[in-house]
Chain A
């Protein structure tokens, strides 16, 4: 069994990874780090650079957790891609970060986090940035 965590290069993403590392250590399970980048545009601020991923991986290994970065891209729907990965690896826990989003903002932009919480068939741990 393993734990999957969604990472984005922001303090929300860092908080999620930190929580996931702790949880993985506690349960003694493998940690899968996912940063899915969108197809189509050339630059996306949610895409992690290689250095970022290496650093996150390093932190996990230092904490004594066996971790692995999963390469992934999505076309239209991030939630579908992420939950698909969770199913494929038969994870025991999904860890995601939550960011502050206003009612109007959520109405217009939607919320990937909310959809993951509602649609996931595995337990979800949602973390807020400090």
Chain B
């Protein structure tokens, strides 16, 4: 019972009316922005960060987490009905979901997606409950060198695994690391890159960067799409899936949940990769792979279960190691820092209320989402009728107001505008803002731990390799860093030998 005591206490925290209310608020907002293509969970959480200043840390994180996993439910709706993925993690749902809608089975697709999401998330929460304390107790032995290695690995993984061009992601991450060095040096007090500006002396705050890059940047980018013509509404009926559908999809839901759980833990992993991997797996294990892309219900159930499982399990590295696994987690990391809580291995022991409160709130949140996404789906579809020209100014206004209210400082508002412009240009030129924000968050962690460990190791960098955990992590780091080079080398050799065989065969033909 020693283990379950704090877990049960966590339910007490969740059932507090305020927390329940914020949980509901979080999942409703998450569902709404999930339905709206363009504005993602990272952007919404960034925009709503100032709202969490006035509330308890537990309540704030419960709400932000609700937005994150709620968006995974909502993203399905537009994928199925309009062939427009609401979130990046619902892209694969389009393949079979939209075809199902064309066949008049939109209700079944949405219903099975909601049920799959619910199961995926629940399995993942149970996994989180048991795995997180284990990881945290393991990580208690971590010293500064281990954290240095882990932060480096985290940045590298996010830069290499995340979508888009690798070089561009690495450039973005490098800019993020650079931005993290602005301000007063924590060890010597020297001012760096402040140009004598007092507002920059304490460094750039995380919130304006996140609000600008994700919030304003995405709003501006979406305005480009405001002249897209409207679609005809699709009628959704019979949302409850039939017994036959459930039977067909149950295997996919189970496989997707487990796969999603493990992919979510990896740094740089997360919901998008999990859904892609699950779709590929379903196609491979299916008896008749040709059905995929023609309305196979497994092609909806698997990825949708996987993305919710991954969304949930990506809280593990954040809450146990203090390393955000993806951009959204980086923003929640920032939210925790604002509340004066440093996520890390000590969190479970120092702050069991917060940890178990957030974890257990996910059970409640997922039940709420299941209720909302099956009978109330028509209500959420109505939001699609709002025009971008109305939505964008409102969100921009909320962003600006929020930026100002953090510290009543116009400098922050200017920063948001500046980073909004940068974020827009980044998206325009194919740079993902995710690696930048993540590197910025991990940058200060990396710097302070690197310097601390160099003090401990008396300035000897080889000391990193004499400690088993940091050595392992660094070897992994080097492997991930040079892997693309090795891989392309192997492929070149293969292609080369193939080309030579073709050439020799041609010679034979000619002779």
Residues of A within 8 A of B (CB): 9, 37-45, 47-50, 52, 73, 75
Contact = CB atoms under 8 A, between A and B. Distances in A.
B227 interface: yes
Those 5 A-B pairs whose CB atoms lie nearest each other, nearest first:
A44-B230, A49-B232, A40-B387, A73-B229, A43-B384
Contact of B84 (A9, A42, A52, A73): A42
Given A48-B232, A52-B232, A41 B227 contact: no
B233 interface: yes
Nearest to B231: A43
B39 to A, nearest CB: 12
Interface in B215-234: 226-234
8 contacts: A38-B229, A39-B226, A39-B227, A39-B228, A40-B228, A42-B228, A44-B230, A44-B231
A1 B235 CA distance: 38
Contact of B78 (A42, A73, A75): A42
Contact of A47 (B226, B230, B387): B230
Contacts of B232: 9, 37, 43-44, 47-50, 52
A62 B257 CA distance: 53
A43 B381 contact: yes
Contacts of B480: none
B37 interface: yes
Contacts of A49: 232, 234
B379 interface: no
Contacts of B233: 43-45, 47
B361 to A, nearest CB: 31
B440 to A, nearest CB: 33
Contact of A40 (B78, B82, B227, B381): B227
User: Max chain A CB contacts within 10 Å: which of B84, B232, B233, B388?
Assistant: B232
B389 interface: yes
A42 B229 CA distance: 7
Most buried by A among B78, B231, B386: B231
- Scoring A43, A45, A73 by chain B CB atoms within 10 A of each residue's CB, the highest score goes to A43
Contacts of B284: none
B176 to A, nearest CB: 33
A38 B227 contact: no
Contacts of A41: 230, 384-388
Contact of A39 (B82, B84, B229): B229
Interface string B384-411: 1111110000000000000000000000
Contact of A43 (B226, B385, B388): B385
Contacts of A42: 37, 78, 82, 84, 228, 230-231, 384-385
A45 to B, nearest CB: 6
Given A42-B37, A43-B82, 18 more contacts: A39-B227, A39-B229, A40-B388, A41-B387, A42-B78, A42-B82, A42-B228, A42-B384, A43-B231, A43-B232, A43-B384, A43-B385, A44-B232, A44-B385, A47-B233, A49-B232, A49-B234, A52-B232
Interface of B: 37, 78, 82, 84, 226-234, 381, 384-389
A43 B381 CA distance: 9
Contacts of A45: 233, 385
B221 to A, nearest CB: 15
A8 B503 CA distance: 62
A43 B227 contact: no
A41 B226 CA distance: 8
A47 B231 CA distance: 6
A73 B230 CA distance: 9
A100 B234 CA distance: 25
Contact of A37 (B229, B387, B389): B229
Nearest to A73: B229
B90 to A, nearest CB: 15
A49 to B, nearest CB: 4
Nearest to A9: B232
A119 B320 CA distance: 69
A40 B226 contact: yes
**Of residues B37, B82, B230, B385, which shows the largest number of chain A Cβ atoms within 10 Å of its Cβ?**
B230
A39 B386 CA distance: 11
Contacts of B386: 41
A16 B129 CA distance: 62
Nearest to A74: B229
A39 B226 CA distance: 7
A39 B227 CA distance: 5
A5 B230 CA distance: 20
Contacts of B387: 38, 40-41
A45 B234 CA distance: 9
B223 to A, nearest CB: 10
Nearest to A72: B229
A10 to B, nearest CB: 12
A75 B229 CA distance: 9
From A38, A39, A49, name the one whose CB has the most chain B CB atoms within 10 angstroms: A39
A51 B234 CA distance: 11
Contacts of A52: 232
Contacts of B228: 39-40, 42
B62 to A, nearest CB: 30
Contacts of B229: 37-39, 47, 73
Contacts of B385: 41-45
Interface-central residue, B227, B229, B389, by most chain A CB under 10 Å:
B229
Contacts of A38: 229-230, 387
